[in-house]
Amino acid sequence: MRGKFLKINLEKEINQFIQGKNYYSYKFMGAHLAEENGVMGYRFTLWAPRCKSISVVGDFNNWDGTLNTMVKVHEGGIWSIFIEGLEPGEIYKYEITHKDGKKVLKADPYGFYSEKRPNTASILVDSCTYPWGDGRWIGKRRRSDILNGPVNIYELHLGSFIKESENGFLNYKEIGQAIINHVKLMGYTHIEIMPITEYPLDDSWGYQVTGYFSPTSRYGTIEDLKWFIDHCHRSNIGIILDWVPGHFCKDQHGLFMFDGAQQYEYDDFKMYNNPGWGTANFNLSKTEVRNFLISSAIYWIKEFHFDGIRIDAVSNMVYLDFGKGPGQWLPNEDGGNVNYGGKEFLRLLNEELHNLNEGIITIAEESTALAYVTSKEEQEGLGFDLKWNMGWMNDTLKYVELQEEDKKFNHNLMNFSMMYAYYEKFMLAISHDEVVYGKKSLFNKMPGDRWQKFAALRCYLTFMYCHPGKKTLFMGSEFGQFSEWYFKGGLDFHLMDMDEGHKNTLSFTKELNNLYKGEEALWKLDFDPKGFKWIDPDNNQQRVLSFIRYGDKMEDTLIIVCNFAPITYYDFKIGVPYNCCYKEVFNSDEKRFGGAGEIMAEVLFSVKDYIHGMEQSITIKVPPLGAVILKVNN
């Protein structure tokens, strides 16, 4: 049975596109099944303003560019043709003739599916309707306030979560079911998948894209991906897409010099050249490019039901000199380094995505101190929901890698983040970038012997989960994988069968996830200063940090004590906010987690004893390289 086919006013859609007001351009650009004059076929529409001519070529016409020549239907550079009799599954490209007569074959920028690499042609699809079963999830998502709820994201790379062979890939359904089982067992709220927009080189991990509307064929079909997302939702798991709208690769079949000149990229070499990544920067000031990118984001949300988008390399879009040296960039009209067009694009992108009223979330990977990233009201605000807290990540990882004696002189690395914690709505992220290219796995960042590494990992994760901000953790860290991430191999899940340390760490992370979701104080007031208070941020001699997380009610209150020294502290006195009882609800040093078992089973009663600026105190036991969470117990 045929699916939907093209039924639109093409002239109206094209005019809106040229004016920069068509954010659903995927509905008519590219190749669409259509019925015209009673005949079925495909309508091809393409934007290429500076070329001489264009033809559609493929196996169906023996790649002969003289047979199916497109007609220029708008002076803004829109070309179109209807080819009758074509069937889904046909491969095709555009043969583009430049002004100088040179002919180049290009994949469709709006292609919905692509050949598996190393082949590069686009593939005709029948836009059949997938039988979604996630209506309850979508309705709940639209009604929810995600920023006032728990967000605990498991970041993963589809090709290396599990691996059957060195060069093979599992299908979206096969790998998807394994991911769903693991994530559901572990208690994460969301997964974030590294880019699956079609890309030519495995080594780029998906961050150098050729198909902004095409899910990579490495893992199967469009329907297979929709099945995966649908079944994530049926299992109450959200799914976020990692998306790269700042730059694109220079492979010949892609967007680079598409019509023989700078079409998608900036005109000036110093503006479009991205020397650090060997890519070309999008011209984010051009209306047609904005149409293209915003339409791509909307496409993934509307057609694939993604719950949010994490935008990669925001700094590259905002700063003209990002990743460039002297003489490699051009200043703006005011002589500065801010890309005004890039900032305007990001504001427009966030506005349009939130206008969908789908309850989705946008996340910025922004690595500088740029202000107002998550602000919607300020004139400079970009309108994101969350910003990765790169400062927190860099500081805390630097601290935990220090040897024992050096930690006391760098204690500020662990407490400094609270000086700016409420400037933005932050997400704490330990991502793939921190466990690759010789940086070591999260486990092996921890100094000391094997026991100390596991203990320090548990303490660090507890500190992370209790610190204000939403959470993202890269795959493998949840069970203390020894080796750093390698995209050609799978995770070392077999370690759980060989080593109690990894099995215990997996159990620890599972319980930490569930504790996080169940305790409102750990997420309800993430972005409100009322939700946090230091008890003692400055105990550098003992390497201990203690603080309070508040909820809406007194009985939600949590006391957190994190000890980054391999020493047990007995009779450790801390100030507490209320004259009441306190009960230990979590201890990273429990024997079942692989710890020493320095726990407190008894209820603790506060006494009137002024310390740490509070009238009441309790005396506790603090485990070595361990974290303790106490809760008001009335």
Low-confidence ranges of the chain (pLDDT < 50): 1-3
In the chain, domain spans: 10-123, 529-632
Q: Which residues of 544-582 are buried (b: 16+ CB within 10 A; e: fewer)?
A: bbbbbbbbeeeebbbbbbbbbbbebbeebebbbbeebeb
For the record, the structure tokens of 584 come out as 């230990």
What would the DSSP string read from start to end of 228-245? Answer: HHHHHHHTT-EEEEEE--
Number of Cβ atoms within 10 Å of the Cβ of 118:
7
Q: Report the sign of the C-alpha dihedral through residues 436, 442, 444, 445, in that order.
A: positive
CA neighbor of 308 nearest in space, from 367, 385, 369: 385
| Residue 217 to residue 207: CA distance in whole angstroms | 16
Burial environment of residue 135 by CB neighbours within 10 A (0 to 12, 13 to 18, 19 or more): exposed
What's the pLDDT score for residue 12?
Answer: 87
Taking only the tens place, the pLDDT of each residue in 55-89 is: 999 999 999 999 999 999 999 999 999 999 999 99
Count of beta carbons in the 10 Å neighbourhood of residue 633: 14
Q: Which residues partner with 338 through β-bridges?
A: 319
Of 93, 66, 102, 81, the C-alpha closest to 10 is 81
Q: Is the pTM of this model over 0.85?
A: yes
> Which CATH superfamily does the domain covering 529-632 fall into?
Golgi alpha-mannosidase II (2.60.40.1180)
pLDDT at 1: 34
When computed from its CA atoms, the radius of gyration of the chain, rounded to whole angstroms, is: 27
pLDDT for 128: 72
Residue 82 and residue 24: Cα distance in Å, rounded?
A: 21
What is the pLDDT at residue 4?
A: 54
Annotated catalytic residues are 312, 365
Instruction: In whole angstroms, give the CA distance from residue 618 to residue 630.
Output: 11
The verdict on domain 10-123 having CATH code 2.60.40.10 is: yes
The domains spanning 10-123 and 529-632 adopt the same CATH topology? yes
Question: What's phi and psi for 214, nearest 5 deg?
Answer: -120, 110
Give the pLDDT confidence score for residue 544 in this predicted structure: 98
